[in-house]
Amino acid sequence: MTAAVVTGAGHALPATYEQGEVWDGYFAEKYAGLRAAERVFRAAGTRRRHAVVNPVDEDVSQWGTGARMERFITEAMPLGKQAVAGALDAAGLAPGDVGLFAVATCTGYATPGLDIRLASDLGMPLGLQRLLIGHMGCYAALPGIAAVSDFVTARSRPAVLLCLELTSLHVQPAVADLEQVVTHALFSDAAAAVVLEPGAGRGRRVAGMVARTDHATADHMTWDVTDLGFRMGLSPRVPDVLARHVGGVVEELLSEAGLRVEDVAGWAVHPGGPRILDVVRDQLGLSEEQMGASRRVLAEHGNCSSATVLLVLEELGDVDGPVVAMAFGPGLTLYATLLLPA
C-alpha cells in the first residue's frame, strides 16, 4: 500500500509575553492568599508563551462561554490560515491539491466551523472532504495524523491536519487551588499544520501508531465546558500514571517495526509539564539531550495543547533516522506515533 508521508509543516503564533510579566501583572494579585502559588507558577518550565488574550491587558475570566466562542473564531481564522498556507508552501502544494482537511481543537467551536471557513478562504476544492477532531485535548494531533494518513493511503490524495488551540480564552475566575495555578502557568496559544502526501520520496513516513487509555484514571485530567468557558482539572498524579504505561506503549510501537529505543534518532514528546518530561526520560532511559526539543518548546511556547507535539516535531528538524512522537491527555490517554524516513 502507498505510504502516507509528512512533507510539509507550518505554524503561527499570536503575541508573546514573558512568564514573569504575566505573574506580576495579573496572577500575583489573583492568588495572593494561596501559599506556594508563585513558586508553582515560576517552576512550570516556561519562560514565555503566546496569547490572543493577554490577561494583563484584557481580563476575560468573567466572560460567558458564548462570548469566548465568538472571540475564538475571530482570532483563529488568521492564525489557521497562516499555519496551513505555510505547511502547503513547505510541501510545494496548492490548496486545490488537498483531498482532506482535518482540524483538531478543544478550545473553540462554531458552525460553520474553522474547517469550512478556512477551506473557503484558502481556496480548497468544493468537493473537499473535511474532518473536525473536537475536545480530545493535548494528544489530538496523533489520532489526527492517524486519520489523515489512512485517507492519504486509501485515496492517494494529499491531506492537511491543522491543530489550533487558543487556551488564553479560558482563563478562569481565581480560586484557592494549586491545580488551577498549574494550568494557568502552562497553557498557551498556537496553530500548527502538517501536510501528508501519498508515496512521497521526501519527508517522514507514518509507520506506526499505538494508543493506550487508562479508564481507571479518567478523573485525573478533565476539560469541562462551563458557563464561564472551559475549565481544566489536572491531578498531580498524572505523571505517576504515565510512568506505568509509557514504557509498554513505546515498546509495542517499536517492536512492530523491529526497532529498539536505541534506534530512535529523535523524540518529540508532548511537554505537558516538567514532571511529564522527567517521567518519559527516566522510564525510557533517555538523556537530557534527547529531551532537548521538548524542553525548548515548553520553555519558549508553553503547552499549546494539541498543537504542541507538532511544534516539537518542527523543532527536531531533519534528524536522520526514526522519530517517535508521543502525546498525553484526558482519558487518561497516551498516543505514540512512529515516523520513518521516506
- Asked if 138 is an active-site residue, the reply is yes
What is the C-alpha to C-alpha distance for residues 84 and 9, in angstroms, rounded to an integer?
A: 8
Q: Which three cell numbers stand for residue 297?
A: 518548546
Q: Which of 106, 138, 163, 304 is catalytic?
A: 138
What is the C-alpha to C-alpha distance for residues 324 and 176, in angstroms, rounded to an integer?
A: 38
- Cβ-in-10-Å burial (0-12, 13-18, 19+) of 37 comes to buried
What is the C-alpha to C-alpha distance for residues 235 and 298, in angstroms, rounded to an integer?
A: 19
Helix (H, G, I), strand (E, B) or coil at 12: strand
Q: Please list, in sequence order, all residues whose beta carbon lies within 8 angstroms of the beta carbon of residue 72, skipping any fewer than 6 positions away.
A: 107, 108, 109, 110, 166, 169
Inter-CA distances, 244 with 210, 250, 264, 279, 283, Å: 15, 12, 21, 10, 9
- Cβ-in-10-Å burial (0-12, 13-18, 19+) of 104 comes to buried
Give, as one character, the DSSP assignment of residue 290: T
**DSSP code per residue over 203-272:** SEEEEEEEEEE-GGGGGGEEEEEETTEEEEEE-TTHHHHHHHHHHHHHHHHHHTTT--GGG--EEEE--S
Backbone φ, ψ for residue 50 (5° rounding): -130, 145
Q: Which three cell numbers stand for residue 9?
A: 509543516
CA-closest candidate to residue 17, choices 27, 2, 8, 7? 27
Helix (H) or strand (E) holding 39, with range, is helix 37-42
Q: Which three cell numbers stand for residue 231?
A: 475549565
What is the C-alpha to C-alpha distance for residues 301 and 164, in angstroms, rounded to an integer?
A: 14
- Residues labelled as active-site residues: 138
